[in-house]
Structure 1
Amino acid sequence: MNDYEPIAIVGYGCLYPPLLTSPEELWDGVLKGTKGVRNVNNSVWDTDKYYSKYRSAEDKTYCKKTGYLSELPHLEKLIEQNGLNSDEVIKLNRTQKMILYTVLRALESANLNLESITPEGFVIGNMLGDESFANYVAQNRMKKFVDEHSKEITNDDNEIKHVKKSLSESLNVESSDFNVFPSNMLAGLKKLLKLHGISFTIDGACSGSLLAIDEAIKLIHQNKTSKSVVTGVLGNIGVTGNVAFSKIGALSDTEARPLDSQANGLIPGEGSGSIIIESLSNAINDGSHIYGVIRGSGVASDGKGQAIYAPSVDGQYTAMMKSLAAAKMTLNDIDYVEMHATGTPVGDKVELQSIMKIFNESGRKKPLKIGSMKHQIGHSFSAAGMANLFKVLQGFNHQNLPPTHGFGDFSAENKSITSNNLIVNSNEEDWHWDSEHGRTASINAFGFGGINANILVQEYDEGLFKSILSKSVSSTLTLPDSNYSIVGQGTWVDKGFQGNIPSEAPISKFTSFPFIKFKMPPKVVQKIDKSQQVGLLAADKALENAKEELNGIPREKIGLYVGGMLGLKTAFECDLRIRSEELRTAVQKSCTNVNSQKLEKINMQFKQKFESLSEDSLPGFMDNIVAGRISNSLDIRGVNAVIDAGKNSFDVAMNQAILSLQNNEYDAVVVGGVNSNDLPEYVDLYNELYSNDLVVENGACFFVIKRTVDLKDTDNEIFNISSDASIKTINNSVSLDADFLGAENAFKMLNKINEHAKRPEMATDFENSEAKSDFSIAFFDTENAIEASQMIKNEMFLDTQNESSKMAIFYTGLQDLEEKVEFLKKIQVGSNE
């Protein structure tokens, strides 16, 4: 890996339970032990409907505590200060409003205005989306059921109207259809804030915050953006996730007690945290206030050998060691670790083992202080890592090691593991300054499904960092001068698709999926979303296709990026089953002649349309497990992440993968696009919003990519990709007969490769006449793509006398391409024609 240029945190804003609306309020809450965790009220979900003390109770949870926000803070003042359209803000969903609040507060703390971040990167770490689309689906499906079964419910038409009115009231969807659509969480905010830089949502489950930071840092290190806004958020604490987590026994029925001998599970929570980052050298030159410096970041997957939801010492250890290596530090340089520590006995034990493995290897003699804040705010999943970061940054600010509440003592087993070398910091105490490394902390966020992230943060001190910067070389100065070679490919498209991509046998949950090969029992396959199945099948083909080319590459040096629109069909079907209680309540409230027996029959008629929840349901419907399943089954131990950038999801996944190869983090990457969401409400709303006239199809397409300079003589190069991925575009002459949503451009790329294989004489590369490629990849935002295509249309070529200048060429066919190339050649040589 190249030298890791330090990254400055120049702004931050947060929102955590019960109503901690600034980093200072969060710090005050940490010191006082303020509890954001309490019994849910009806604004969260109705315990009368969904709670049961019996763990085996179907479609119910045994945990009625949650770390939830008392309310959302008022946005009026921030809207006015930033000149935002208040009508557009009102249309945002709840999660978007949480993000907006923390982004605007981060800008305020950075003394920046919106215009200053318009061209910059924006990365959101999120899981479970927002509850608004689940409400939208439930409202639609339940009303349809009422219409279809009206005579079974009541003979009174007015009562049927009241049932549907009651459903509308209980499942109220406040935001606009645009912002309801899961994949538009980011798009709605980009539109409001007028952002044009590289932006995407990334799902790494509970590691989401730190995974987003790591990917945003790549954009800065490779000069794709000068600053990045990064948010970790969880705004969906609806009952379905709670019920699903209860089925794997992960929740506490009392309270979260991280690391304590009485720990018996996690408590769900919510929250949002946003930071603004830039290179340390730029921050110093800009005169920015620097709240902390990221010295290293590391991401790793557990790979093969564990259950999909079982934590792994190896994955956590690797992530932490990558951060230390990037910072050129050892554990001897670390004062404190803010742990992921959720309060699950197994999870806490594995994390202690991971830290102790590093402790023993480092030869450290001095005990290491550790802590967790989940006793207070709950486990906010994709926002948890950001809360950990803010706690540490405030510790720097106040020069105090933050206390951990709810801890009494380790269990006997954990005492044996730590051997008094790890000490939970239960009380506030001075954080002593070290002349060599200042105040330094390691921060963990480990994701369900085997994705682990860590960052090392150091307090900024001018004298200390003058020395560090004098020894640091920007990663952009040591980039390998290389193109990138596709050495493997694999697809899976359902049979019946009549388009221009080879189709496969349709997947049945029981008959077609090779559960023996992947060691997945039929009962597990029955519960997992089809996107996880097709993704695994296509990625397996791609890796098998590149088997020889990957020979000798350690699995830790292979990364996985999956592009796809978030929101899985199985997740919404699970929600519909659990939320059938809303239908029962609406009928009971509105109809006078419905006895309990008839009501139960109506309820079961609706409920039985969907499968019951079991311990396999949660990993079966989480978006990040599309990548996690591949990583787990095929033993990929670098990053595994799902990226959503709408229709450009595959493009952005490819962009991040290429950046990982550029900085030598990985020696090979597996990149693909997946779509298997044919939920009627999802497809209909997508078609309505985007005026789509193609049939939405299910499928997955993956590629294995290496740096061209790393190819062995025996390697089979299927296709070559030009190195400057930031200004290229997927060949617009490629068309499909179907819509694969966020995976569409993966299939376009496949078609282009197939076309190249059939007609190699068409190969052209406008940068290097000796290159093998006739294909260029672009990662334009929609706005930039429109500008570029208009520039081509108007023949407004800029800086064309400069031989080093590059541009995207949009074309609709070979003749159109040839004409534009000829025109470009003429103006490059100064022709007056």
Structure 2
Amino acid sequence: MELKRVVVTGLGALTPLGNTVPAYWEGLLNGVSGAAPITRFDASKFKTQFACEVKGFDPHDFMDRKEARKVDPFVQYALASTDEAVKDANLNFEKLDRNRIGVIWGSGIGGLKTFYEEVAAFANGDGTPRFNPFFIPKMIVDIAPGHISMKYGLHGPNFSAVSACASATNAIIDAFNYIRLGIADIIIAGGSEAIINEAGIGGFNAMHALSTRNDDPKTASRPFDKDRDGFVAGEGSGTIIVESLEHALARGAKIYAEIGGGGMSADAYHITASHPEGLGAKLAMSKAIADAKLQFGDIDYINVHGTSTPVGDISETKAIKELFGDHAYDLNISSTKSMTGHLLGAAGAVEAIASILSVQNDIVPPTINHFTDDPELDNNLNFTFNTPQKRTVDVALSNTFGFGGHNASIIVKKYSN
């Protein structure tokens, strides 16, 4: 069976740097930090009092007030970025076979705000159960693709990928596979997350995962810097329209890039820590490159997981050096989490968008907030510190790794006939 070629025909983003793809991309290239003191709740008693929040978002731009009350913010975000992507791809569903259009969506946690508020209300009450009838439908992760399918009347494959911070990348890889196998013509893929609330920040603080640089939030996300002290929580959503090449050409769609391949692996090591030698990361990257039928020397840019944690940044760097050998020094490496914070289950989608735009525009966004070299890292590698770098980017690799040892890497490349 001949596999179909798979391309990207639409993009949508709701991020701490901007609420559209152009605004997000401009923020990346300008090295803007999305971190600021938390406004979602009173964080004055929390170890971490800042985050990368979405700013100026009004769900009523995408749904009426009654509907907005029935969905958790992670679903509101999903609908917003998907609205942009659908319009960007010029999808007229009335003229398409909706039985062959699906939605595959990632989220690491789903409706955490809903879960926290409902359980807190019960715990603070008199013991009488008075749960909102929308409690469960608002909370479950798979409700996001459900709402997207209902909005557009799409009857193709519809489910969620849940693999912590690798979720959205897994969703995109699944979409890629469904398209190239001929199971669907178009898949709306991506991820969303909304964990900036008491439970989310408190929970990650309890496990010492977050930066506590409350005196300087904007520089708190410091991937590959000697003084990094944890990740900065982010929120938002990213949507990618994944489509077979033949279907895209038949309807005259614009094409951003081609998806070349995907790789997945498990560390099988620890519930939260990455393997210290980066074995799972190395395996996922090598599988993606092999799946794309490329050589290691074909990769120009890696949008790394790069969360700004003391251990994780070292293990990913080891994986890159071990896998790429001498070519590692010809690569551009950057962590856009230095600007957006860590969007958890949505990270893979917004970072895939950054990788796609890097391929399209031949420029690599920077890793900001670098002040001091870390002697435990190889500082001869090009981490694209502080300033974007223009270069030919024919092929980009995007990495996302999640608690539980989940690793996912995806290849995007320039489209050509």
- The answer for the alignment partner of 1:94 in structure 2 is 73
1:319-398 alignment runs, 5 A limit:
319-360=284-325, 363-364=326-327, 366-398=329-361
What TM-score does the superposition give when structure 1 sets the normalisation length? Answer: 0.46
1:742-781 alignment runs, 5 A limit:
none
AA aligned to 1:245 is F
AA aligned to 1:295 is G
1:61-100 alignment runs, 5 A limit:
62-73=47-58, 75-76=60-61, 87-89=66-68, 91-100=70-79
Residues 4 and 295 in structure 1, CA contact (< 8 A), matched pair in contact too: no
Q: Does 1:426 align with 2:411?
A: no
- The answer for the alignment partner of 2:399 in structure 1 is 444
SS of the residue 2:149 aligns to: helix
- The answer for the alignment partner of 2:272 in structure 1 is 309
Report the CA distance shift for 1:349/1:206 in structure 2 as closer, same or farther (over 3 A).
Answer: same
Report the CA distance shift for 1:3/1:365 in structure 2 as closer, same or farther (over 3 A).
Answer: farther
Shift of 1:366: 5.0
SS of the residue 1:452 aligns to: strand
Q: Deviations over 1:276-332 (max 9, x none)?
A: 1112233233321111111111111112xx222120211111100011101111221
- Return the structure number with greater helix share: 1
AA aligned to 2:30 is K
Moved more, 385-394 or 341-350: 385-394
AA aligned to 1:354 is A
Q: Which runs of 5+ in 2 are unaligned?
A: 214-219
Q: Deviations over 1:86-108 (max 9, x none)?
A: 75455332221111111111011
Number of residue pairs the alignment of both structures matches = 405
Residues 37 and 378 in structure 1, CA contact (< 8 A), matched pair in contact too: yes
Shift of 1:64: 1.2
Q: Does 1:23 align with 2:21?
A: yes
AA aligned to 1:443 is S
C-alpha distance in 2 between matches for 1:111 and 1:300: 35
Report the CA distance shift for 1:293/1:103 in structure 2 as closer, same or farther (over 3 A).
Answer: same
- The answer for the alignment partner of 2:231 in structure 1 is 266
Report the CA distance shift for 1:194/1:348 in structure 2 as closer, same or farther (over 3 A).
Answer: same
Instruction: Compare relative contact order (CA 8 Å, sep 6+) and give the higher one, 1 or 2.
Output: 2
SS of the residue 1:206 aligns to: coil
SS of the residue 2:126 aligns to: helix
1:603-642 alignment runs, 5 A limit:
none
Q: Does 1:230 align with 2:189?
A: yes
- The answer for the alignment partner of 2:98 in structure 1 is 118
- The answer for the alignment partner of 2:126 in structure 1 is 144
1:338-737 alignment runs, 5 A limit:
338-360=303-325, 363-364=326-327, 366-415=329-378, 420-432=380-392, 439-460=394-415, 465-466=416-417
Moved more, 314-323 or 183-192: 183-192
Shift of 1:39: 1.2
AA aligned to 2:414 is E
Report the CA distance shift for 1:250/1:74 in structure 2 as closer, same or farther (over 3 A).
Answer: closer
C-alpha distance in 2 between matches for 1:385 and 1:295: 16
- The answer for the alignment partner of 2:217 in structure 1 is none
SS of the residue 1:414 aligns to: coil
C-alpha RMSD of matched pairs (Å): 2.5
Residues 204 and 451 in structure 1, CA contact (< 8 A), matched pair in contact too: yes
C-alpha distance in 1 between matches for 2:138 and 2:122: 13
Residues 231 and 308 in structure 2, CA contact (< 8 A), matched pair in contact too: yes
SS of the residue 2:196 aligns to: coil
Q: Deviations over 1:97-132 (max 9, x none)?
A: 111111111011001134447321101100211111
Residues 370 and 425 in structure 1, CA contact (< 8 A), matched pair in contact too: no
C-alpha distance in 2 between matches for 1:114 and 1:90: 27
Greater Cα radius of gyration, structure 1 or 2: 1
- The structure 1 segments of at least 4 consecutive aligned residues displaced by more than 4 Å after TM superposition are 2-5, 175-178
C-alpha distance in 2 between matches for 1:291 and 1:22: 16
Moved more, 132-141 or 122-131: 132-141
- Give the one of 199, 211, 221 matched to 1:240: 199
Q: Does 1:46 align with 2:42?
A: yes
- Give the one of 165, 171, 182 matched to 1:212: 171
What TM-score does the superposition give when structure 2 sets the normalisation length? Answer: 0.90
C-alpha distance in 2 between matches for 1:209 and 1:181: 18
SS of the residue 2:342 aligns to: coil
Residues 333 and 440 in structure 1, CA contact (< 8 A), matched pair in contact too: yes
The alignment-based identity, stated in percent, is: 28
Q: Which runs of 5+ in 1 are unaligned?
A: 52-61, 80-84, 149-167, 433-437, 467-833
SS of the residue 2:270 aligns to: coil
AA aligned to 2:301 is Y
